[in-house]
Structures are given as C-alpha cells and as structure tokens.
Amino acid sequence: MADGERLRGKVALITGGGRGIGQAIARAYAAEGALLALAARTDDELQSTAATLRSEFGSEVATVVTDVQDRAQVENAVSLTLDRFGTIDVIVNNAGNTGEIGPLWKLDPDRWANVISVHVLGTYYGCRAVIPVMLERGSGRIVNMSGVGGPNDTSYDAAKTAIVNMTENLSVELAGTGVTVNAISPGSIHTRMWEEVRDMALAAGDLEMYEKGVQVTSGGGASIERAAELAVLLGSDACGGLSGRLIRAALDTFEDIPARVDEIMSSDALLLRRVGLGG
C-alpha cells in the first residue's frame, strides 16, 4: 500500500499522545489515514494535538484523559475508543516519564517506583485491555516503546528493559492468533523528558549524561520523524507476522523489514539478547 494509505481506516489508540514522541506518532498515523484515540494526563495538550490533526489531516480524533498507572483509567480509554470507533486495530503504549538521576542507593524509592509503574504497569495495562478485543477479531498490532538508560538512570533503564522482555514473552503467548507485538527503541530524541534529564544530570554531577543531554537538546539528537515512521510500519499490515522484536529507530535499517519477516522470525535477529543493543 502506498504511503498515505498504510493505516487507512485503522483505529489506533496512542498513550502519551499529547506531546513529544506520542504526538509525532499521532501525526504520522493521521497522515496515513488512521482514526485516532489519544490518551494522556494533560487535557490541554490532548485538545491542542487533536485540533491540529483535525485541521491538517481531516482526522477523526477522540481524546481521553488517562493516567496509565491507573488500570481503571486505561480500561476506560479502551472502552471509550471502542464506543467511538467500534474496534481497536493498533495500540501504541508510549506514555512515559523519567525519574531522578544519580546512584541507585541515593534515589528516592517512591520516585524510582513511579517510573516502573508508569512504564511497566502502563504498558501491561494497555496490552491487557486491548488483547481480548484483538483476539476476538483475530488481528491486531501492539507497539510498545522501549529505550535505554544506563548508570545513574536505573529506574528508566530497568523499566524499558522489562518492556522488551514483556514484548518478547507476549509474542510467544500470542503466536498464531493474528495479534503481533513489537517494541521500538526510538533513540535519544529532544523531548521535554530529555530536558529534564539534562538538568537533573547537572544537579547530580553526572557530567557525561549532562553533556549527552546538551547534545540531544541542541540539535544533535535522534530523529523523532524516524521513530514515528517505524511506529507506522509496525502498526500497518506491511510487517505481516513480525512479532516479539525490538527495533532501534536510530540505528537499525528497518525499511526492508517487510521483505525480511520470515528471515527475521526464523533467527535471533532483533531480540533483546543480541549483542550490541545500543540506542
């Protein structure tokens, strides 16, 4: 299917869709003809993004204020999407946050746990709520957002690694159902989160991370459009039975994946255990 038509008529629920990477994915999905439900905590951002998508693309967009840490709110977002559009073809579990920067033993336990809650529980709740709908239809695409933290950023790193393991295991559970699940590592993209990381790193004396933050927020970060394009590819029918894989938007060549699905699925390619996970 030609660009501009790859998601024509597909219903997509995107969490964290009011700004940053989620907003970029929403724009890319709108450009490909998707019907959109956007969920995030901040209504003003949701309404602004929805208005832009309606104006620029003529998109049908529903919004629902949602804290992904709250299972009932995630289930409500799914219910409202079903009420509005009748089904859900794609979910992009994108909502995220960042915790404190510093050595693990010096971090506030509640803030550390909050990052795990937003990323891991938020992704789990999203998957759990949509899978029965997708199983009933015999098709569906789940796109989870991963990433890489590192020393002094252990809560984020632990959360994002857990999401990849969840993705790989869930793909085995869903094998043969017509429902696929994959993960994206978008790279270090200039978002509000990276501005927060940069400033916290400076306050914590982590000069290496601070310098990386300066680089990312000064034009040297990864492409947000490339991450959104990968989300379109994984949400479309082009990737067939590709499932359980982690793809790095900034480092992997993903344009040829549709032609290589059988090869990838018969190997250990694009799995967490591969050497050189990176970006």
For the chain, which residues score pLDDT lower than 70?
1-2, 273-279
- How many other β-carbons are positioned within 10 Å of the β-carbon of residue 28? 22
Contact 149, 191 (CB under 8 A): no
Q: Which pLDDT score is estimated for 275?
A: 39
List, in order, residues 6 or more apart from 192 with CB less than 8 Å away: 19, 20
Report the alpha-carbon distance of residue 142 to residue 93 in Å, rounded. Answer: 8
Q: Which pLDDT score is estimated for 4?
A: 82
Indicate which residue of 29, 124, 125, 156 is catalytic: 156
**Complete DSSP assignment for 207-257:** HHHHHHHHHIIIIIS--HHHHHHHHHHHHSGGGTT--S-EEETTTS--TTH
Q: What is the dihedral of CA 261, 266, 268, 271, to 10 degrees?
A: 40
* 73: its two tokens: 């709110």
List, in order, residues 6 or more apart from 53 with CB less than 8 Å away: 26, 27, 30, 36, 59, 61
Q: Which pLDDT score is estimated for 3?
A: 74
H or E segment and range at residue 53? helix 43-57
DSSP, collapsed to helix, strand or coil, labels residue 110 as helix
Instruction: Look at the chain and count its residues.
Output: 279
Side chain identity at 4, as an amino acid letter?
Answer: G
At 27-75, the pLDDT tens digits run 999 999 999 999 999 999 999 999 999 999 999 999 999 999 999 999 9
Contact 33, 112 (CB under 8 A): no
Q: Which pLDDT score is estimated for 1?
A: 60
| Distances 149 to 31, 157, 247 between C-alpha atoms, Å | 31, 4, 16
Q: Which pLDDT score is estimated for 272?
A: 78
Report the alpha-carbon distance of residue 167 to residue 183 in Å, rounded. Answer: 7
Q: Which pLDDT score is estimated for 149?
A: 80
Q: Which pLDDT score is estimated for 91?
A: 99
List, in order, residues 6 or more apart from 9 with CB less than 8 Å away: 33, 34, 35
Strand ranges (E), 146-178: none
**What is the DSSP code (8-state) at residue 177?**
T
Q: Tell me, yes or no, if 125 is annotated catalytic.
A: no
